[in-house]
Every structure is written in structure tokens, then in C-alpha cells.
Amino acid sequence: MKKKLLAILMSLAMVMAFTACGSDSEDASDDSAAKTEVKVFAAASMQSSLEELEASFEEANPDVDIVLNCDSSGTLMEQIKEGAPCDIFFSAAQKQMDELEGEGLVVEGTRTNVLNNQLVVITYPESGTAVTGLETLKDAKSIALADGSVPVGKYTRQALMNLGILDEVEDPATITTQQVSDALGGVEISEQGNVSKVLTAVAEGSCEVGTVYLSDTYGQEDAVEILEQVSYDVTGNIIYPIAQIANPDATEAETEAAAKVIEYFTNDDAKALYDKHLFDTENVE
């Protein structure tokens, strides 16, 4: 009898334990489900800045989960055009935002210019390169260069056109990497898919020099050396616009949260952070 009673009590205890576990699981699921997700597509050069802003925003707004997707602005634009769910686009150039706006994918009245940036020519420490800047790129043994669809690749081509090194064309983004190599006397060029990959190729010593943004060198002082900060007169302004994207799959809560995130990413505290990361928040037109 005692054994039977003990078995019954043990069975009841196990049932209660499983019930408790199930309750915890449901609570965790409810916590997760309660979070409002905001999908942010941003230029690769924005990643470190936005990761800091993401952390501070989520700390102040624990009900919102920012999901960052950082890559070349051209790649992100194509993903958005193909229907990838996106709530906010932070581009490293006007061109990609213009295209999305032209297709009705930008929420009217949400677009604003936030930053300017500066093209720089970099090498790795003690490389011994003969290159001093864009005008002597032909003296490089190897170059890391983003392709023309990547804003930093387009701005590099624009600068080389303005310096008379590349022939004038209507859209510098259409100039191929091979054409750049030919104009530089056949120098070896390693084509990269975004600015972060250019930085890595130079920092690791795979390529002797490369072109990135000044902001990309933040925190990389031991890994790369700046050979030239290219004037805005040569590249034109490198403006970063942000906008809310028309996302038909977004809930009302997600749409409202996206507007709140844009406001946070463009406030004075955010601009102070961008300045620290070597962006230019003053010369924004």
C-alpha cells in the first residue's frame, strides 16, 4: 500500500514538473513574441556605428528588436527590390535610394540625408608602397577595389575620372574593374563586393593598397595606414540617406517602431556617435 501511494505521489510530482516547464517555455515564447522586430538594411560602412546605436536603443526600448543586415548598398537595394522584408534602408549613396524611391518603395516624407563621408587610400603598416594617393595608384603592386555597384567603388571611379586617369562616362559605376586596371597600366586588382572586404584585404596584406571610407579606418589604426584623404572636390559629396521602406508584411506596431528607430538614428546623440566614428555630420547637403 505504501509503495502504491509513493508511486502515485511521484507521478503527481512529475506531472507538476512538466507543467511548470511548459509554463516557463510558454512565458519565454510570449516574451519573444512580444518583441516588435524592425529590419534595418544598412551600408557595410555603417555596421560598427549602428551596432552601438542598436544596443542603446534596445536598452531604452526592450520591446523592440532591431535586426541589422549590413552589406553593399547596391546588394541591399537589389534585395529590397526583390521583395526582402525591410523596414529601414540606410544607404551609402543617393543612387540606390533614388532607385527605390522611383519604384515607390520609399515611404513618402521619411527620407533624410544624415552623413557625409570621405574616400581614403590605405595600405598596411610598413608596406613600403610607392603609392601616395589616387594619382600614383599605377605604382601599386596590387589594389583592392570594390566593384562599380558598390558606392565606394563608384566614388573611386568618379575620382579617377575627375583626375583624368579614367575616360569620362555618364555613369562611373559602369566602368569595369578590368578597365580600371588597363588605365593604371595593367596593375593587379582584386575586386571586392563591399567596403569591409576591401579593408580586410588590405589589413591582411593580401593587397598592397585599397580605397575605403575614412569612417572604415575607425579603430583600425594598427591595421591600416592612410595614404591620402581624397578631397570632396574630387569625389563629390558622399551622402548617406536614410528612409523607411514600404513593407507590406509589417504590422502597425512594426511600422511605428521603424519610425521611432529612424528618429533615434538621426538625433543629436546619434550624430555625435557618427562624428566619433569619423563620419562628417556637418557638410550634409
pLDDT along the chain (285 residues), means of 10: 43 41 42 81 96 97 97 96 97 96 97 97 97 98 96 97 97 97 98 96 98 96 97 96 96 96 98 97 89
Architecture of domain 119-229: 3-Layer(aba) Sandwich (3.40)
User: Which burial class, exposed, middle or buried, applies to 55 when counting CB atoms under 10 A from its CB (0-12, 13-18, 19+)?
Assistant: exposed
What DSSP state is assigned to residue 123? E
Dist CA 120 CA 56 (whole Å): 30
| Domain 34-116+239-276, CATH homologous superfamily name and number | Periplasmic binding protein-like II (3.40.190.10)
C-alpha cell at 66: 532591431
Nearest to 223 by CA among 237, 231, 212: 212
**Adjacency order of strands within the sheet including 209-213:** 188-192, 142-146, 209-213, 119-123, 225-229
Length of the chain: 285
Whole-prediction pTM value?
Answer: 0.84
Contact (Cβ atoms closer than 8 angstroms) between residue 203 and residue 224: yes
Dist CA 173 CA 187 (whole Å): 20
C-alpha cell at 264: 533615434
CATH 3.40.190.10 boundaries in the chain: 34-116+239-276, 119-229
List, for residues 218-272, the tens digit of each pLDDT value: 999 999 999 999 999 999 999 999 999 999 999 999 999 999 999 999 999 999 9
List, for residues 179-194, the tens digit of each pLDDT value: 999 999 999 999 999 9
The percent of residues above 90 in pLDDT, for the chain, comes to: 87
Contact (Cβ atoms closer than 8 angstroms) between residue 173 and residue 149: yes
